[in-house]
Each structure stands twice: as C-alpha cells, then as structure tokens.
Structure 1
Amino acid sequence: MKTNTAEKWLEERIRKYGPISKLSLFGKPTVFICGQAANKFVFTSDNSTISNQQNKSTRMILGDRCLLELSGEDHKRVRDALVSFLKPESLKKYFGKIDEEVKKHLELHWHGKEQVTVLPLMKTLTFDIIGSLLFGVERGARRDQFVSNFKEMTEGVWAVPVNLPFHTLQPQPESKSKDPKHGERSYAIRDQDNVQVVTDKEIVDNVMLVMVAGHDTSSVLITFIMRLLLNDPAVFEAVLEGSKVRMLDCLLGFAEQEGVAKSKSAGELLTWEDLAKMKYTWRVAMETLRTVPPIFGGFRKALRDIEYGGYLIP
C-alpha cells in the first residue's frame, strides 16, 4: 500500500490462483474472493453466515463497537444515529463553515503556487473540515498536534498487530469517555425523549471511524476528480460552463456554473441551494467513484462453514 501497488498485487494473485484463494493476512488465516459474484455473495448473505469484522489492528484502534464491527440490530441502531447527524437538515447548518475552510485552504496552499501535490493537500483539507465540524478545533497549535496524532493513528490501522516497543502498532490502555450532554454535536445520539440511544463507547469508536473513513475516501475522490478534469477538457468545460473562475476554485469552492459564481458577492459564502444547482459536478463525482473507488476491499468473518465457488470456507 505504501508503494501504491496493492491493487496490482491482488491482480497478480488472481492471475496465479484464480478468484478464490487462501493466505495469511495480518497474522490470520484468510480467504480472498473477488469479482461480481463475490460481491453479491458478501453483501446479500445474512448475519448468521457472515458478520462484519475487521483485521485485529483496525479493531484495536477504531474499537469493536464501530459500524465496521456491528451487525443486525446493533448496526441499524448506530447507523441510524449517524445518519441523523449527517442528513441534509443537519449538514445545512455547517455548509457555510465548510465553505470557509475551503477558501482558507485555497489561499494558504494553492493561490500563487506554480506546482502542488494534490492528494496530501486534499487530506489536509478534509482533516481541517472534520476537525472543525466534529470537534470545534480551529487552526493553530492544537490542530497541528491533532494532525500529527491522527497520522500516527492511521498508520497503525494497516500494521501487523505485533506488540513491540519499536513497532507502529502498540496497544494502549483504554480511556473512559464522558457522555456529551450538550451542544449540537450530541443531539444525534438521543431520541425524542432525550434517551441516549448509543453507548459512550459506540460514540467514541464511531467518531474515530467517521474521521478515518471520511478523511481518506473524500480526499482520494477529490484528487481523482481533479485528475479527470485535467485529462478530459470536455468534462472540465462542462463543469466550468464558461465561468471565469479558476479550475481549483471551480472544484474546491463548489462553483460549477457561471451563474452561481456571478450570483455571489465578494466574500459571500455558498449555500445549500447553490450546491443543489451543481448537478453535473455531482454526476462527475459519482462516475469517478464508479471507475476509481477509494476502497478496493473489505473484511468479513465466516460464522459457519460456507460453500462458495466449489470451495468450503471454514
């Protein structure tokens, strides 16, 4: 993964051993399956056959009560709580804040630069937005330390779980979290009777999951959208639609059309209604997700012996 050859490694494995093979991965016996039939099998199997379970290092860092680990009613309960926080009615409140972060990012890292490296900057941007919206951590020494700790944490997610002093992944004692009882960031975890619907540990584990998942997938998506726009002038022109706004402002500032750009006065923030007008940009994003998905695999655990493709998976 560090050399960006993981997909090639998997393709070579398929060429040698076919679409079903066994191996040891992260210190555990693993069955590797791929293809459309494999995806359908995994995503349509019931909870008595296959359950969510990530590799040990991921569980140690993100916890065993995040959505990647939960199944059945527990998964639905926690997912519903997260969805209520991320639904449009909630996101509308933070849209102006996101626009502010994007504008600051462009001023600091893009304007006046002859050459930039997109992916690291997109990771910076998505982290700044997550830190600001989820935790209220603004620019400064505290956020810089937050970034450093976060990078160290994500390196451990894909590490082999070996407990050695010099190793990337070292178990740490679990800290007790406090129940947030006020503020907009806590409303999604309580029902209409003000009863807490998810546990404190589920809050902590899923906040970390949202950080890691949102940070990596969004930054990769935006990076590949920019590559598409650079390599396909026709798509770029369709997104820009004759606007005099620079390409970076077009993509990262969400100004798709000349009409949107002209309707805003200097310094005026974009609105949810502006975003709704950017239908072509949304289609570009969806097509990019289809052709270059940010995640190319996932983990499950077989709860009983499974027959698949003529093989027995224990």
Structure 2
Amino acid sequence: MEIMIPYLLALLLLPLSLIFILRKRDSSSKTLPPGTSGWPLLGENMEFALLGPQKFIKDRMEKYSPEVFQTSIMGEKMAFFCGAQGNKFLFSSENKLLTSWWPQSMKKALLFPEFVESSLKEVSALKRSFLHDILKPEALKQYIPLMDAMAREHLDENWDSNRVVKVFPLSKKYTFDLACRLFMSLVDPEEIKRLADPFTLVTNGMFSMPIDLPGTAYNRAIKGGKMVRDELMRIITQRRKELTENQETEGRDLLSKMLLVTNEDGQFMSEMEISNNIIGMLVASFETTSSAVTSVLKYLAELPHVYDEVYREQMAIAKSKGAEDLLTWEDIEKMKYSWNAARESLRLTPPAQGSFRETITDFTYAGFTIPKGWKTFWSVHSTHKNPKYFSDPEKFDPSRFEGSGPAPFTFVPFGGGPRMCPGKEYARLEVLVFMHNVVKRFKLEKDIPDEKIVFHASPVPVYGLPVRLLPHGN
C-alpha cells in the first residue's frame, strides 16, 4: 500500500498541475506593456525617488514605449499611461475599466484604521456632486473678499517687516489658515496650529519609504495623522452639538454643510466619515496649492518681463477700486494675463504629479493587455514638457494659453474627466488673489538664483525659495 501512495498523490496533483500550466500559458499569451518590475520587493521605488517623476517617465517612454509602460512601485504592478491619448483613455474609463485607488501607505497615514482596507468610495461616503456644488464658481464667489482680506493680513504680519522671506513655508501657512477658515470657520491661531503642525508631518512623510520605525518620516506621518484625526473629531463633535442645540438647517461653512447633508444611502455621515472628507480637502488645498503659489512667485522673481506684465494688469485693477475695497469676482475675471502666467507655471512645475487608478477588469490599450488588479498612473510629465505638444517646452510663455490654448488632454494639472479635481476653481482664485496682493506691494528677487527643486508630494524648493522684497517706490 505504501508503494502506491506516490502514484495516488501524482494522480491527485495532476489536475492541479494542468490548471497551473494552462493558466501560465493563458497569462503568457497576453502581451503585457513593456518595462521592468525592478528589484524584488523594492520594485523601482529607488529609481523613481532618485530620478524624480519627470526623468523617470521620460526615460521609460524613450526606452520602452511612448504610449504605456509597466513598472513596480509601492509594491504594486503598475502601468504608466503616457501622452494625450493615454490621458484621454484613463479620464474616460472611470468606473468602466478603472476605479480610484490610493497607496496603502497613504491611507495608513491619513485615514482611521477602520477605513484603511476600504475602497475610496466607502471612505468618502459623500456624493461627488456635493463637492462640485460647493466648489463651483457660483458658490466660491462669496469667498473672494475673505481670501483677499486674509491675504492682506498675512502679508502685513509675515512679509512687510522683512527684507527676505521664504516663500514656500509662508505659502503653506497662508493656504492652511485659509482652508481652516473657509472649511471649518477656525480663527484661533492655537487651534489652527494644533492641526497644522501634525498635518505637516503627514504631508512630509506619506509618500516616503513606508517603513514604520521610530525616527522615519513615515512613522512621523502616521503619528501626525492620528493627531490630526483626534483634533478633527473634537471639532466635528462640538459642531454637531452646536447645530443640534441651535436647530440649524443651513451650514455656515463646509463642515456644517457636511453635517447636514445625507450620503448616498440617505443617512447622515458619521464624524469619522466627515473627518476623512475634510482631510482629503485639506490635502488637496494645502500641499498642491502652496506649491502652485510658490512656483508662480518663483517665475515672477526670475522673469522681469513677465512680472512687469502681471504688475500692470494687477495695478489697473487696484487703481479702479478704493484702498479698502476688497476683490470681487469681476476683478478676478480681469486677471487674464496673470492667469495665463499662472497656468504656464502649472505646466512647467505642476504641483500634482498625476493620479492612481485600479483596473477592475482586463482591458487592452495600444495593443497591450492591462490585467485586472493592476494599478495605473497618469502623469502630467508625459505631456507638459513634451515638444510634441508644446514647442520649445522649457520656455516660459504665457501666450500658449491665449485663444483656444493647448490641445485637449495635454495640459492636465487638475486631471480630467469625471474625476477632474473639484477644487480647480478654488485653486485658481487662491493663486490669483495671492498674486494680486504680492505684486501690488513688492518686486521680487531670488536670494539663491540656482536653488534646486526636489520632489516630495509636490515639487519643493530645497531652501524654501528665499526672495528679497523690494517695495514699490523705494
């Protein structure tokens, strides 16, 4: 009997072996995108970090394919879609072939542990139409005077008494203070600081190497995320109590509106769900907008002819108003050259690098199969500096945006399709209001002419972009 056991095992295992062989043959029959998975476990994380996203993508487009290539980043098999056609394909395939996805490391830093394994749709529990309603131009018009007043106050307190300022950290302070005021009506500096300090730990570390050991940036991001969530839960719980006691039915800010709105199931959102949404809004309005403001001011300091044109436009608006009059929507609409200059800055130094998706079914693109479960990534860097779409791509030229502007799906700092950044208009207003107030007071000169830009979550000047302030008339 014992002699028969090996033969019996062979008979039992034969069907499994055949299944494995057939599956392997089926897998090998699929033509996957060209590329490499890099090192075992590490993938191409090191190459991506060392080269930076722009060179990483450019090199692989040249080596493998200008349409789509594969890599392995953050422990995931990933297809990078390139060019205007790649952008168009991903933007138009939302919820058909793809769904939203965040890296696990990012979710662990930002979300409650209970939500880390959930889909992004489950995390938000908020109708996307709600965000579009509160962030559309008609709704944002009322915020412009407050943005202007806060910009003036910020410059009074942090710029006027200094000969040299560091633009990036001050931009971060302004954008975070403004977000706290508009989203949650927070005005107490200490209360804002209790959110701002740990939030900076989160944004500094959530895209770092996900090693959760004491002293690492990722470990600090996870600790900072818990502190942010604890503080938000305190604020949200207090606001819900106030709304109930006062029997309020209209929200005075984003937080109150979230507490009063129902989700897709007709239920009020929980405090944790609201916290998730506010964190998402803070991430979107803080890091990327701060980077955008910084880049715009960098180019204004580097390019006197661009600065002079922006200055002329902004001073014409200022002179049409009383000294104490705040900006209005009509004023913003007159800032055409300034916005073209800002868009050219967004093209050359885009604050957001792109976005992840997850495939929900096998599909074919450009002759290659993208298997179900793979992650995808579209990136600004496959088009923004591509001479195929922008002639002399390294040149700063705001005139590119006159008339009909760039070809569709080539200029994508805010994404596109149904998941285009809902905060696009908010960012436009914030950048233009800040530009107006800075150039109205100062001419700028870079203190470190050759300061390098490094990539964290967004492009960051190594020394914070110190600039000399030259008040007009001096």
Q: TM-score, normalised by structure 1?
A: 0.78
User: Which position in structure 1 is the counterpart of 2:318?
Assistant: 260
**How high is the sequence identity, in percent, across the aligned residues?**
29
Q: Distance in 2 between matches of 1:286 and 1:103?
A: 23
| Superposed counterparts of 1:49-128, under 5 Å | 49-63=97-111, 69-70=120-121, 78-128=127-177
Aligned partner (choices 36, 40, 56) of residue 9 of structure 1: 56
How many pairs does the alignment contain? 294
> Based on CA coordinates, which of the two structures has the bigger radius of gyration?
2
Shift of 1:202: 4.1
Shift of 1:219: 1.7
Aligned partner (choices 199, 223, 234) of residue 269 of structure 2: 199
Matched, 1:187 2:257: yes
Q: Distance in 1 between matches of 2:95 and 2:355?
A: 16
Task: Answer whether contact 1:77 1:197 (CA < 8 A) is retained.
Answer: no
Q: Distance in 1 between matches of 2:186 and 2:120?
A: 28
Task: Answer whether contact 2:179 2:282 (CA < 8 A) is retained.
Answer: yes
Q: Distance in 1 between matches of 2:316 and 2:154?
A: 22
User: Which position in structure 2 is the counterpart of 1:218?
Assistant: 289
Task: Answer whether contact 2:175 2:289 (CA < 8 A) is retained.
Answer: yes
User: Which position in structure 2 is the counterpart of 1:246?
Assistant: none
Q: Distance in 1 between matches of 2:193 and 2:124?
A: 33
Structure 1 gap segments, 5+ residues each: 243-255
User: Which position in structure 2 is the counterpart of 1:238?
Assistant: 309
- Mean CA deviation greater in 207-216 or 137-146: 137-146
Shift of 1:51: 0.9
Change beyond 3 A, Cα 1:119–1:166? closer
Q: Distance in 1 between matches of 2:50 and 2:319?
A: 40
Task: Answer whether contact 1:85 1:188 (CA < 8 A) is retained.
Answer: no
Task: Answer whether contact 1:189 1:197 (CA < 8 A) is retained.
Answer: no
User: Which position in structure 1 is the counterpart of 2:354?
Assistant: 297
Shift of 1:189: 6.3
- Mean CA deviation greater in 282-291 or 25-34: 282-291
Change beyond 3 A, Cα 1:90–1:47? closer
Task: Answer whether contact 1:50 1:300 (CA < 8 A) is retained.
Answer: yes
Q: Distance in 2 between matches of 1:28 and 1:311?
A: 18
User: Which position in structure 1 is the counterpart of 2:92?
Assistant: 44
**CA-based RMSD:** 3.5
Task: Answer whether contact 2:71 2:80 (CA < 8 A) is retained.
Answer: yes
Change beyond 3 A, Cα 1:134–1:305? same
1:32-88 Cα offsets, whole Å, 9 max, x none, are 3322222122112142311111111223344469xx9339xx999622111222234
Aligned partner (choices 316, 325, 329) of residue 272 of structure 1: 329
Q: Distance in 2 between matches of 1:52 and 1:184?
A: 30
User: Which position in structure 1 is the counterpart of 2:342?
Assistant: 285
Change beyond 3 A, Cα 1:2–1:134? farther
Q: Distance in 1 between matches of 2:85 and 2:267?
A: 36
Structure 2 gap segments, 5+ residues each: 1-47, 372-474
Q: Aligned AA for 1:270?
A: L
Give SS of 1:22's match: strand
- Mean CA deviation greater in 121-130 or 268-277: 268-277
Q: Distance in 2 between matches of 1:162 and 1:44?
A: 35
Q: Distance in 2 between matches of 1:188 and 1:279?
A: 34
Q: Aligned AA for 2:326?
A: L
Shift of 1:3: 7.7
Aligned partner (choices 128, 140, 146) of residue 189 of structure 2: 140
Q: Distance in 1 between matches of 2:64 and 2:215?
A: 35
Task: Answer whether contact 1:53 1:301 (CA < 8 A) is retained.
Answer: yes
Give SS of 1:217's match: helix
User: Which position in structure 1 is the counterpart of 2:24?
Assistant: none
Task: Answer whether contact 1:99 1:270 (CA < 8 A) is retained.
Answer: yes
Give SS of 1:294's match: coil
Give SS of 2:121's match: coil
Q: Distance in 2 between matches of 1:144 and 1:2?
A: 30
Change beyond 3 A, Cα 1:31–1:89? closer
Shift of 1:28: 2.2
Task: Answer whether contact 1:92 1:272 (CA < 8 A) is retained.
Answer: yes
User: Which position in structure 1 is the counterpart of 2:364?
Assistant: 307
Shift of 1:9: 3.0
Change beyond 3 A, Cα 1:108–1:77? closer
Task: Answer whether contact 2:125 2:269 (CA < 8 A) is retained.
Answer: no
User: Which position in structure 2 is the counterpart of 1:21?
Assistant: 69
